[in-house]
Structure 1
Amino acid sequence: MTLNSIGLDTGKTQKLAADLNILLANFQLYYQNLRGIHWNIKGKTFFDLHTKFEELYTDANVKVDEIAERILTLGATPLHTFDDYTKAGKVPVGKNISKDENAVHLIIDSLAELLMIERQILKSSDEVNDEGTNSMMSDFITEQEKTVWMMKAWLGETV
Structure 2
Amino acid sequence: MSTNRIGIEESKAQGLADQLNELLAHYQIFYMNVRGYHWNIKGDKFFELHTKFEELYTDLLLKVDEIAERILTLGYRPIHAYSEYMNLSRIPERTNVTDGHQCVKEILDGLSVLIKLERDILEASGEASDEGTNSLMSDYITEQEKTAWMYSSFLGE
TM-score range, shorter chain: over 0.9
Report the equivalent of 1:45.
Answer: 45
The separation in 2 between residues aligned to 1:21 and 1:106, in whole angstroms, is 22
CA contact (8 A) 1:121 1:137 kept: yes
Runs of 4+ in 1 over 4 A off after TM superposition: none
AA matched with 1:23: L
Identity percentage of aligned residues: 55
Report the equivalent of 1:58.
Answer: 58
Task: Kindly state the Cα deviation for residue 14 of structure 1 after the two structures are TM-superposed.
Answer: 0.4
The separation in 2 between residues aligned to 1:134 and 1:66, in whole angstroms, is 13
Per-residue CA distance 1:48-102 (angstroms, 9 max, x = gap): 0000000000000000000000000001100101001000011132211100100
What is the number of residues matched between the two proteins? 157
Report the TM-score, using the length of structure 2 for normalisation.
Answer: 0.99
| RMSD of equivalent CA atoms | 0.6
Report the equivalent of 2:74.
Answer: 74
* Consecutive unaligned residues in structure 1, runs of 5 or more: none
AA matched with 1:143: E
Report the TM-score, using the length of structure 1 for normalisation.
Answer: 0.97
Report the equivalent of 2:27.
Answer: 27
Report the equivalent of 2:83.
Answer: 83
AA matched with 1:52: K
Report the equivalent of 1:17.
Answer: 17
The separation in 2 between residues aligned to 1:62 and 1:21, in whole angstroms, is 15
Pair 1:127 & 2:127 matched:
yes
* Consecutive unaligned residues in structure 2, runs of 5 or more: none
Q: How do residues 98-117 of structure 1 correspond to structure 2 at under 5 angstroms?
A: 98-117=98-117
